[in-house]
Chains A and B, each alone.
Chain A
Amino acid sequence: MDTEIVTIHVPNPNAPTPLEASRKTGTARPEDIESIFYKTSVYVYEVPVRLWHWLNAAMIFLLIGTGYLIARPLPTMEMAEATDQFVFGYIRFAHFAAGQVLTVAFAARILWAFFGNVHSRQMFKLPVWNLRWVRELIYELKWYLFLVPEPRKYVGHNPLAHAAMFFFITLGMSFMIVTGFALYAEGAGQGSFYDTLFGWVLGLVGNSQRLHTLHHLGMWSIVIFTIIHIYAAVREDIMSRQSMISTIVSGWRTFKDDRVE
């Protein structure tokens, strides 16, 4: 086998185009490859995407915390007469306000997918019909199961991360937004704006307690995603061949080695 290392920085017309796995799974554009040639890094996440990520993360933490307290309230507090005390009311207000912010941010994020680069659209679709994508997904799984010595390089999300984003955030968060507003509509009252938009959900589920339970289960799925997401991001930052955490801060993806694949 030819052990000569072909790097991407030495002009070599015979060398293959780098990052085949990334290109074939739809996460590297020609201009991204071009960028690697002369800058050693790629601008992946534009400002609105990064802003959304951090705002979304903050809202999710706030929503998990307040949501858990709504289902399992703090011990009874007797600071004043009930008329002058609004502890639980403030917790619920924080939850509703965070939910509204998260929803508006998510709507803006969806809108940005129409204007931003290809990476801003990645989490909204899953290319399951792309056999190469499926193969690389299995390869990435093998990397996590210690079956292959090193992962492939990706400009955008690797297929495994891509699938996690799609199921937990695109679908999972939409589910939380819809069930959340359906629950909010119950308090807002029949005929209210929220009831007009989301009242049908309660009709579909049939029973408000069941709807609460579904929303509650959704919270646990987001908790699970959060753990996986943070662990994977830190681990990939250390173990993989590209930057992770600094990428969602600055937007630039850098690679630790110069090999084409």
Chain B
Amino acid sequence: MPQIETFYDVMRRQGITRRSFMKYCSLTAAALGLGPSFVPKIAHAMETKPRTPVIWVHGLECTCCSESFIRAAHPLAKDVVLSMISLDYDDTLMAAAGHQAEAALMDTIEKYKGNYILAVEGNPPLNEDGMYCIIGGKPFVEQLKMAAEHAKAIISWGACASYGCVQAAAPNPTRATPVHKVILDKPIIKVPGCPPIAEVMTGVITYMLTFDRLPELDRQGRPAMFYSQRIHDKCYRRPHFDAGQFVEAWDDDYAKKGYCLYKMGCKGPTTYNACSTVRWNEGVSFPIQSGHGCIGCSEDGFWDQGSFYDRLTKIKQFGVEANADTIGLTAVGALGAGVAAHIAATALKSAQKKSQAANAAKTDEKTEA
């Protein structure tokens, strides 16, 4: 294996002072939810460990993950992309193109067999033998499988790679399939979101490089440090939720006062992500802070849950789209009408029985007479 510089070497070479370096270590420790005692450990790892090669492949996607990633503030994407990790292949960010780029990919796989991290943005379509997404003249699914074969671990960037996102939404004509359903034999970290938060992305990579292992994952395979709580659990508008103070219409006084957006269909209570704590664009804001409910972009199948403004999933099994309340109320209404009709029928039937009995008694009397 060729000699690779350590992260620290590269950082220093790039003109980053020791002071800035230590600041970065503390920020990263904080972002990962680690105590101050981990700062020297991160610094030590950075100073001594060779950089880890990363191959970043793109399937069916919109590049919003990359857009988010290069806007990371802590640590700066420049540091991550250019210094910390050696991003050996990323057809969107790399200078090389065409045959040169594909050669770089083969080169990296060959050189770092079993040591590189494969980052997947987007997902492979499987219909028509994967012809809906062609990279370098071949279906993306082939490139993905080839790159995955010798990868140490795989990161599924965004809702596309993790769950399928919009291209996998019903009826999913290209059969876009999330990475973990195509690659079955590698550890996969899902970093969902559309896109994921930049600091979350860099945080995950930094953790893997520093500690040389996968971060702790939750049941759905997402890094627990960023995805173990719902937006709702840490939302700054939560006190209004508990108080029962809700925005009732987009332009009402309650909206101005910043009340809870639950009634406007905010999906914070059903969405696992770090938006309400890490926020976006260097912690400037996040959707709820700017007055719009969460749309649940980091949840499995978020395009197929009905409107962004509904808190209940649309149910399509009955031919027409309906929500649970429409179905429930219809069923209860029909049942109520049925019960009323049944009561009427019962009453008529027993009235009929009585009059028949009376008639029979009369005829009996007559015959006796």
Contact = CB atoms under 8 A, between A and B. Distances in A.
Partners in one complex: yes
Pick from A75, A83, A189, A213 the residue with the most CB of B within 10 Å: A213
A88 interface: yes
B327 A86 contact: no
A73 interface: yes
Among A74, A76, A83, find the residue whose CB has the most chain B CB atoms closer than 10 A: A76
B245 A71 contact: no
B328 interface: yes
Given A146-B349, A209-B299, A77 B332 contact: no
B245 A209 contact: no
Interface string B98-141: 00000000000000000000000000000000000000000000
A76 B246 contact: yes
Contacts of A217: 315, 324, 327-328
Interface stretch (B33-41, B74-82, B166-174, B269-277): B269-277
Given A87-B243, A88-B243, A210-B313, A73 B331 contact: no
Given A209-B313, A219-B328, A224 B335 contact: yes
B92 interface: no
A224 B331 contact: yes
B312 A220 contact: no
Contacts of B335: 224, 227-228
B324 A76 contact: no
Interface in A200-224: 200, 202-203, 206-213, 216-217, 219-220, 223-224
Interface string B300-337: 11100100000111010000000111011101100110
Majority SS of interface residues in chain A? helix
Contacts of A82: 239-240, 242-243, 245
Nearest to B257: A78
B45 interface: no
A207 B218 CA distance: 14
A202 B228 CA distance: 13
A186 interface: yes
A239 interface: yes
A145 to B, nearest CB: 9
Given A73-B262, A76-B254, A208-B272, A213 B324 contact: yes
Q: Which of B244, B312, B323, B329 has most chain A Cβ within 10 Å? A: B244
Nearest to B259: A76
Contacts of B327: 217, 220
Contacts of B49: none
A21 B184 CA distance: 56
**4 tightest A-B CB contacts, nearest first:** A220-B328, A87-B244, A88-B244, A208-B270
Given A190-B224, A212-B311, A212-B312, 14 more contacts: A82-B245, A88-B243, A91-B244, A187-B233, A189-B228, A190-B218, A208-B269, A209-B267, A210-B305, A212-B270, A217-B324, A219-B328, A231-B343, A235-B342
5 contacts: A73-B246, A85-B245, A187-B233, A203-B219, A220-B332
Interface of B: 218-220, 224, 228-230, 233, 239-248, 254, 259, 262-263, 267, 269-272, 296, 299-302, 305, 311-313, 315, 323-325, 327-329, 331-332, 335-336, 339, 342-343, 345-346, 349-350
